[in-house]
Amino acid sequence: MNTNDMPRWATAFVLPLLNLLSALLVAALVIHLLGEDPLDSLRILINSAIVNPEGLSYTLFYASTFIFTGLSVSIAMQAGLFNIGSEGQMYIGGLGLTIAMLALDASLPWWLLIPCGIVGAALFGALWGFLPGYLQAKRGSHIVVTTIMFNFIAASLMNFFIVKYMIPAGEQNTASRVFSAAAEMPRLNTWFPVLGDTPLNVSFLLAIVALAIYGLVVTRSAWGYKLRATGLNKHAAHYAGIRISKMIIVVMLISGALAGLGSVNSIMGSTHYLSLNFVGGAGFVGIAIALMGRQHPVGIFLSAVLFGALIQGGFDLSLEKPNIPTETFIFIQGLIILFCGAMENFYAPAIMKLIKAKG
């Protein structure tokens, strides 16, 4: 079934909604088998993650990171590239951010220090995205294989640099020292006290700006047209004068930079130091967000909020419902990836039949 024959409203709204409902239905069945009421569990999750202002603040905090990793995967998909390396690119972006902070946080004021950290995260993430992009463009190495390998290399490099150079003397925790107060991203509860004492910070606003820029560039610029043409048909794009190898490298640079920016929220917005496992699977969640959001800025935002709500609501739900372990929500994330990724067109034939019947 070719979804290009379907109306935009069907592919952008109806299919993702049906896929999400299918995943939640299976999750409800699992919760029922665990001996808990699915509807009551849903009520607790919504109250904890959306209705409660402090819970909503945590949801948006998690979503801030997911927006960047979702954008990282999405812009690569626009060029027909499946970048599975956002996890590693965010790792290395965090390393670049930390190097900037450790070198400059004692000498620069916050209004210079924070931009330096952001640039460091984007630059190091871009460089880590450049390598598989170059191998794909110039050597024909498949982007999926190289980005998977680079995730493991990034994790090993992080372990090496933290253990060898960044652990303060006398400390056992595999983490750098805490940055100075000047390196902390301003928190939104400064202006909105109703949000409570939560880590939601200016990174959320940066993520919204990134979404807007992504939407404008992809759909309203000449370069965005070339990007989408490359993704739709590389051979036709080549004969139209688009340099495919250059496009691949540039896209992977941007993709890596966006993934690297995801570390800003996690490190400068929350922990204020670099820890070994700070990414926590955010790069892989970005794949689900890009698939579920159909690479559209609104879809990416809503998908990121959904996954943020699952994390925030899952914490409280596992406390109130002891039979539901926190690992259940990793399973739910997997279901969403399954239905929105591998089975994204499962309902397409039925929808096409209904459309033709109505017509």
pLDDT in tens, 108-140: 999 999 999 999 999 999 999 999 999 999 999
- Least confident piece of the model among 12-26, 177-191, 222-236: 12-26
Q: Quickly state the pLDDT bin for 2 (edges 50, 70, 90).
A: low
Overall pTM > 0.75: yes
What is the average pLDDT across 78-91?
Answer: 97
- pLDDT for 1 beyond 60: no
Apex CA 139: angle with CA 135 and CA 143, to 5°? 45
Compute φ and ψ for 175, nearest 5 degrees. -155, 155
Q: Tell me the C-alpha distance between 53 and 267, whole Å.
A: 23
Q: Tell me the C-alpha distance between 224 and 247, whole Å.
A: 11
pLDDT at 344: 73
pLDDT at 3: 60
User: What are the extents of the domains in the chain?
Assistant: 1-25+325-358, 63-315
- Least confident piece of the model among 28-37, 68-77, 229-238, 324-333: 324-333
Residues, the chain: 359
What is the average pLDDT across 18-27?
Answer: 89
The yes or no reply on domain 63-315 and CATH 1.10.10 is no
Apex CA 241: angle with CA 248 and CA 214, to 5°? 45
pLDDT in tens, 169-221: 888 889 999 999 999 999 999 999 998 899 999 999 999 999 999 999 999 99
The two tokens of residue 123 are 């630059």
- pLDDT for 76 beyond 90: yes
Of 177 and 12, the structure prediction assigns the larger pLDDT to: 177
pLDDT at 202: 97
Q: Quickly state the pLDDT bin for 341 (edges 50, 70, 90).
A: confident
